[in-house]
Amino acid sequence: MRTRDAPVSALVLSKNYGIPITTVYRRIEELVQAGLLGAVKSSRTSDGKWYELYRSLLRRIQVSFDEGNMQVEVEINDHIADKFTRVWSSLAPTNQILVTS
């Protein structure tokens, strides 16, 4: 179960890997704060509880060692929503739309 291929809930991660749900949420929060994981969808269960689906924000990580030096290259996965946000931000610095009649 990889968050790179499709969004996954914390509960699914917990069940698939046998990790306590509190630990999963703690790790998710750490990964979100580090910019490595993002919530891509919020939804409700049939009994009305909210949950989020998470997806990796990474496309590739390459770690190399050369003469005792470590080099890490990270390539961020460019999701459509992120592209839209960047375009919107560049077009509308105040993020306000002027509507005239």
CATH number, residue 46: 1.10.10.10
Residue 82 lies in a domain: yes
The predicted structure's pLDDT at residue 18: 96
Q: How many CB atoms lie within 10 A of CB 52?
A: 16
Residue 78 lies in a domain: yes
Tens digits of residue pLDDT in 4-61:
678 899 999 999 999 999 999 999 999 999 888 888 888 888 999 899 999 888 888 8
pTM value is 0.63
Residue type, 72: V
How many structural domains are present in the chain? 1
Tens digits of residue pLDDT in 51-99:
999 988 888 889 999 999 999 988 887 665 566 666 666 665 555 555 5
**Cβ pair 10, 28 in contact under 8 A:** yes
The predicted structure's pLDDT at residue 94: 56
**Which domain covers residue 25, as residue numbers?**
8-90
